[in-house]
Every structure is written in C-alpha cells, then in structure tokens.
Amino acid sequence: MPVPWFLLSLALGRSPVVLSLERLVGSQDATHCSPGLSCHLWDSDILCLPGDIVPAPGPVLAPTHLQTELVLRCQKETDCDLCLRVAVHLAVHGHWEEPEDEEKFGGAADSGVEEPRNASLQAQVVLSFQAYPTARCVLLEVQVPAALVQFGQSVGSVVYDCFEAALGSEVRIWSYTQPRYEKELNHTQQLPALPWLNVSADGDNVHLVLNVSEEQHFGLSLYWNQVQGPPKPRWHKNLTGPQIITLNHTDLVPCLCIQVWPLEPDSVRTNICPFREDPRAHRNLWQAARLRLLTLQSWLLDAPCWLPAEAALCWRAPGGDPCQPLVPPLSWENVTVDKVLEFPLLKGHPNLCVQVNSSEKLQLQECLWADSLGPLKDDVLLLETRGPQDNRSLCALEPSGCTSLPSKASTRAARLGEYLLQDLQSGQCLQLWDDDLGALWACPMDKYIHKRWALVWLACLLFAAALSLILLLKKDHAKAAARGRAALLLYSADDSGFERLVGALASALCQLPLRVAVDLWSRRELSAQGPVAWFHAQRRQTLQEGGVVVLLFSPGAVALCSEWLQDGVSGPGAHGPHDAFRASLSCVLPDFLQGRAPGSYVGACFDRLLHPDAVPALFRTVPVFTLPSQLPDFLGALQQPRAPRSGRLLERAEQVSRALQPALDSYFHPPGTPAPGRGVGPGAGDGT
C-alpha cells in the first residue's frame, strides 16, 4: 500500500529532504551495472538456499561490499513507497591453475571459463532480504569481459532497484554467489520510524509512548525477533488514542521488538527493535538462559534470543576451586540457541560441568549431571594422550595444572601417582571419553586419603586421650555436628520429570550438614539386593544413627498409600523394580500404626503439585511441609532433635530454594510453554 505523502514527510524530515530522494516510477524491479559489465535480473524470486562453500575452480567473481540507498517508488505524484536500493561491489578472486593437459582444463568448462587467461567471467549473485514479516531472494546474472579480469581487483558493481520496506523496519541483507565460493556478505539497514512512537526510560521501567489522536484505533504487538525461524509473539492488543505502555526492565531482551499499525485495511506496520544495544537487555538475556540435559550426551541452551556463544566441558573438584576447562583434549563448540548439541561422552559424572562463554567471558556454568548422579566426588581426572607407535602419557588434572604420572612433584596426585596407575590398570577408574588421540578417566581418591592420614589420626587420638573428659566430649559433639544427620528420602517414581525434581532436592540438601540417601543414587545396590532388602537396611541404619526418614508425597505416592490402607497389600506389576517407596510401605505403616513415627519421620510435598490435606490422615500424625514455601520449618525438622535453632536457618533455606528453583521451573513449565504471569506489557498474560 503506498504511504501517504505526509507520513513520509514526518518520517524522513522536512519536505526538501523527501524531495531529495530519487523517485522510481512503476512497480517493476530492475537492475543496472557499471560500464563494461552486463547484468540481468531474473524474472521471479528464488528460494533462499545459500548452500555450502565449495572450492573455486579458478578466477571467480565475488561480492566484496554492500552499499544501500533510500529511494522512493511512486505510483502517483504524492503516493510513494519507501524502497531500498542495493549496490553489490564485485572483485575477481582466485587464480588460474596450470592445466596438466587439455582434457583436465576442459573439465572446468561448467564454471563459465572457456579459454584460460583470456575469457570473460560470469557469476550468479544472490541478494537475500529479510524484514519482519517479509523475506525474499532475487538473482542477478553478471558478466565481466576478459579485458577487465584482473586478479584481486574490483571490476565494478551491479545495482538492484529495489526492496520495499515499511517505515521503522529493520532490513537484513545477505549477498553471495551461486555456487557459493566464499562466506556471504551481510548488512543491516534501519529505516526511519514515525515520530509518534517513542521509547523512554523511567528508573527501572521503560515507557512506550504513542502520540496519536484520540479517535485513532491501532494495534500494538511485542515479539522476539529471531535470527533463524519466525518471530515469537509475546503480547498483542488493540488500542485507541494516545497511550503510554509500561514495561518492566526485567522483560527487556535484545531481540524484543515493537510493531504498531493503524487498524485499517492494508495499513503500514512500523517495527522498531530499540533494545538491541541496551546493557540491561543483555544482562536479562543471560539471566534467562538455561542449560538443559536431554540425554547422557545431548543438551541444549534455552534463551529468548540468539546468542554468540561457545561451550566446552570442564571438571569441577570439591573444595571451591574453579572449574577447569577440558580444552584440550576436547574443543570449544559453537552454540546455537534451542539446537541440540552433543559431547562425545561414554559416561556421565557429577564433577563434569558445561561452561558457556561469550566474547571470551564466562556467562553460564552448570553441572548438568549432578542432579541425577549426586553431589561432587573427590575423584581425580586422568588425561591420557596417545601418540604414534602406541606411545601414551598420563597426567592428573589439579588446580595447579596437569601433573604427569609418575612424577616427583609435591602435589597430591604426584604422591599417589603409583596407586592411581594401579587402579587404572585394574579397571577401578571410570572411563568418561575416548578417541584416537586420548581418553579421560575418573579415579576415586577416598581410600588413599584414609590410608595417608591413618597415622595422623592415631596421633590425634593419643593426644586427645591425654586431655580432659570435657574437651573430649566437646570434640566428639563437634565431629557429630560436622558430620551431619542422616536423612533417608523416600518417594514414588511417578515419572522421569518428578525423579529429576527429587534428584535436585537431594543434591541441594547434600550442601547442608545432612547425609542424604536416595534410591536414585543407589541403582546398582537396589538391583543387587532388591527394593525391600535395600530399604530395610537403609531404614535400620538411618534410625540407629538418630536420623530421619523423609516421605516425599506426590499423587502417585498418595494413591499407593491409600491402596495399602484399604487392602493391606499391593501387587508389584504396576511399578518398576526400582520403586523403593512401594517396597517401603510394608514397614513404614507399622511405625505409624504403633505410634513410633513421631520424631523419626517427616512428610513433605511440592507446592502446586499436592495439597497437604490430600495426604492420608495416618501419615499426618507427623509434620507435613510444603516445598519450597515451608523450607525453613522443613530444614528445622531435619536438624538433630536437641540441636539449637541456628541463626543461619533462613540463609540455608534460601540456598536450597535457589538450587531447587531451576528444577521446579523445568517441571511445572517445560521449555516451549509460557509461564503464568511472565508475559510482557500491561496485564501480562492477557493479550488479545
């Protein structure tokens, strides 16, 4: 639809500025080129398929620079469309190869070269345009005479008239040849916007100011502009008259764009993306980004917008040392948002983490395997390097670097190097990665630490025996407090998502002075002993040590309890062999029926998943807490019975809540589904 003259005047400035733009008459696209060149525009658009880069068969024409210019395409004297003219500058790249015989040279005839060093060059140049919501590609054929063919020299340009775009829109342009011999050129052109749409800041809030008449009806849409794929709508509403729309600063991301249009047939839509360079938007983008483990080897990065990032695996040892990138032997991999990526791992390990860097700065780091495999282990990572003639070398990764084995250095791995090599040869180390150049092995260190410090502990015990009984009792009490209370976590494996949520809770509790046991981390023992025997052993050990049994209720757990209370027995066929909760009911129920449960059991359930009133009355004879809303009380119930209430209880509850929140978000709001209340704009989530 042609833009009225007064709108163009408003957008482009005073009338002399508008009049200074070149006018094109008619609706047909056209092309022209520099003197000496011949060019032709294909009659119809083509598919935008760049294809892979292929080797040049000899000298070829290649785009070297894009130049844009605004022009007017007018149907009438005062009804014109804003149009973008593009000039593609071309140069000769490559060299003639010396032919071995006439037959070999003749094989290159399909490249458009007939006589070596004395022939014209031809090229098919593609121009690709993208301006939300429009995209198109055109093909320009160019021929350069032999007299102008000089290696590495510019031969002129070909001009395309022209690509129509709406006021305020952002036009992305790519240019490449077909076939593609080099990386495509790209250029972004921001067209002038109408002055009645403004963006202003007020503290932490952002205002969209629309200065239109009171009778004007218009539509307003917010969307995430995507580099690949269609835009993602976020909010839309039809409005009337002047408006001030308030956005919270936490809703800003670089790809958040605004589209405004009058509610009239064939109206011009104005698009602006004002937050592309906003530092707050970039901070929000990384805060919203999440890493998600799909399988042992595959994972992806969830984020609202495209991110220039690369990722690598790192090894995180207990004790607070920085996570050490495993580059080499592994390499950094480019990351594409919402695209599945893979690491060539043979096994997972809780100490393996993923680091995501952008502009050589660490932005994200998550230990994706910790939720399912438990807390960090005191293992040593061995790096095996393989050379020619079956030569190989080993080194142990430590905070100071990679220590060669065997070694006379004074590091921990060097002192235990002989034992580590023996464990590696006897198969006690877990292989994490393997290829022709090397391998990664995780070797346990607990037993060596115990052996090394046995004499030291003996000396300490002899010295402690000489002290008074009071000091000895205080020391024993301090050791017991530091060791933490034992907690056995029982749950019903309703689905894999709930199991990941349970794993996240168990991992978070391990960061506190608690020793957590859960069947998720004991699959091997569970399979070997059977669920009933495994639970009886764990329950007996936990209660003998003065620990606590946590019953984590879910809809599946409530159904199992109700079935037991009604029938007194439950068939094994409906659940898998690892369902310890089902097996545990045979001895949990007697503890409740005989009044032995208070003080040794607590119950818990997740907010929004189950109301405490849904728990059978028999099990409500012990406290039942909802998580995470009652985390402080829940953690207080897990403390030693006579332990004083620590002033750090609220701090620990906040720590557990932060660790649990990503798993809760993933369970209740899987990727791809909008979270309630997280829309942008006024009345978030109620867009029309």
> Given a cut of 70, is residue 530 above it in pLDDT?
yes
The per-residue pLDDT for 469 is 59
What's the CA gap between 655 and 662, in Å, rounded?
13
The per-residue pLDDT for 601 is 94
Angle between helices 580-593 and 531-544 (to 10 degrees): 50
Q: Per-residue pLDDT tens for 316-335?
A: 888 778 888 888 788 888 88
Strand partners, 383: 395, 440
Report the C-alpha dihedral over residues 531, 537, 541, 544, rounded to 10 degrees.
110
What's the CA gap between 608 and 624, in Å, rounded?
15
Express as a percent the part of the chain with pLDDT over 90.
Answer: 16
DSSP, res 223: E
The per-residue pLDDT for 574 is 43
Least confident window among 144-158, 270-284, 412-426, 561-575: 561-575
Q: Per-residue pLDDT tens for 49-65?
A: 888 899 988 889 999 99
What's the CA gap between 523 and 517, in Å, rounded?
12
What's the CA gap between 66 and 158, in Å, rounded?
10
What is the H or E stretch that residue 660 is in? helix 649-668
> Given a cut of 70, is residue 235 above it in pLDDT?
yes
Assign 242 to helix, strand or coil.
coil
199, 206 in Cβ contact below 8 A? yes
Question: Token match 């992305």: residue?
Answer: 172
Give the mean model confidence (pLDDT) for residues 510-521.
86
> Given a cut of 70, is residue 456 above it in pLDDT?
no
What's the CA gap between 212 and 225, in Å, rounded?
25
What is the H or E stretch that residue 62 is in? strand 60-74
Mean predicted lDDT score pLDDT of the chain: 80
The per-residue pLDDT for 519 is 87
Q: What would the 3-class secondary structure string for 490-515 be?
A: EECCCCHHHHHHHHHHHHHHHCCCEE
> Given a cut of 80, is residue 493 above it in pLDDT?
yes
What's the CA gap between 484 and 510, in Å, rounded?
10
> Given a cut of 90, is residue 127 above it in pLDDT?
yes
Give, rounded to a whole angstrom, the gap between the first and last alpha carbons of the chain: 26
What's the CA gap between 199 and 258, in Å, rounded?
10
The per-residue pLDDT for 647 is 66
Closest CA to 383 of 298, 320, 323, 315: 315
For 469, the token pair is: 């009984």
The per-residue pLDDT for 198 is 74
Question: Token match 């906003």: residue?
Answer: 278
> Given a cut of 90, is residue 141 above it in pLDDT?
yes
Q: What would the 3-class secondary structure string for 580-592 be?
A: HHHHHHHHHHHHH
Closest CA to 92 of 120, 52, 134: 120
What's the CA gap between 531 and 570, in Å, rounded?
14
Q: Which one-letter amino acid corresponds to residue 596? A: R
> Given a cut of 80, is residue 104 above it in pLDDT?
no
> Given a cut of 90, is residue 22 above it in pLDDT?
no
472, 464 in Cβ contact below 8 A? yes
Assign 434 to helix, strand or coil.
strand
Angle between helices 469-483 and 454-465 (to 10 degrees): 140
Categorize the per-residue pLDDT at 28 as very low, low, confident or very high, splitting at 50, 70 and 90. Answer: confident
296, 345 in Cβ contact below 8 A? yes
The per-residue pLDDT for 6 is 46
The per-residue pLDDT for 483 is 65
Express as a percent the part of the chain with pLDDT over 70.
Answer: 82
Give the mean model confidence (pLDDT) for residues 519-537.
85
Assign 306 to helix, strand or coil.
coil
Give the mean model confidence (pLDDT) for residues 131-137.
80
Closest CA to 397 of 357, 426, 432: 432
DSSP, res 178: S
DSSP letters for 396-407: EEETTEEEEES-
Least confident window among 130-144, 350-364, 569-583, 606-620: 569-583
Q: Where are the alpha helices (DSSP H) in 289-426?
A: 370-373, 412-415, 417-425
The per-residue pLDDT for 18 is 41
The per-residue pLDDT for 548 is 92
Give the mean model confidence (pLDDT) for residues 38-46.
90
Give the mean model confidence (pLDDT) for residues 376-404.
84
Give the mean model confidence (pLDDT) for residues 435-458.
72
For 155, the token pair is: 């031969």
The per-residue pLDDT for 116 is 53
Q: Per-residue pLDDT tens for 594-623?
A: 888 998 999 999 998 999 999 999 999 999
Least confident window among 111-115, 224-228, 530-534, 586-590: 111-115
What's the CA gap between 548 and 637, in Å, rounded?
9
563, 570 in Cβ contact below 8 A? yes
Which comes out higher in pLDDT, residue 578 or 285?
285
Could you tell me the CA-to-CA distances from 216 to 9, 195, 242, 262 in Å, in that order? Answer: 20, 15, 8, 7
> Given a cut of 80, is residue 11 above it in pLDDT?
no
What's the CA gap between 627 and 501, in Å, rounded?
12
What's the CA gap between 17 and 533, in Å, rounded?
87
- b or e along 165-189 (b: 16 or more beta carbons within 10 Å of the residue's beta carbon)? bbbbbbbbbbbbbebbbeeebeeeb
Which comes out higher in pLDDT, residue 682 or 543?
543
Least confident window among 194-198, 266-270, 314-318, 582-586: 194-198
Strands 256-262 and 23-25: unpaired
124, 141 in Cβ contact below 8 A? yes
The per-residue pLDDT for 606 is 93
Categorize the per-residue pLDDT at 194 as very low, low, confident or very high, splitting at 50, 70 and 90. Answer: low
What's the CA gap between 63 and 185, in Å, rounded?
7
Assign 58 to helix, strand or coil.
coil
Closest CA to 173 of 212, 147, 136: 136
Residues contacting 513, CB < 8 A, separation 6+? 481, 482, 483, 484, 485
Categorize the per-residue pLDDT at 247 as very low, low, confident or very high, splitting at 50, 70 and 90. Answer: confident
> Given a cut of 60, is residue 169 above it in pLDDT?
yes
CA 496 to chain centre: 21
Least confident window among 268-272, 301-305, 510-514: 268-272
Angle between helices 649-668 and 631-638 (to 10 degrees): 120
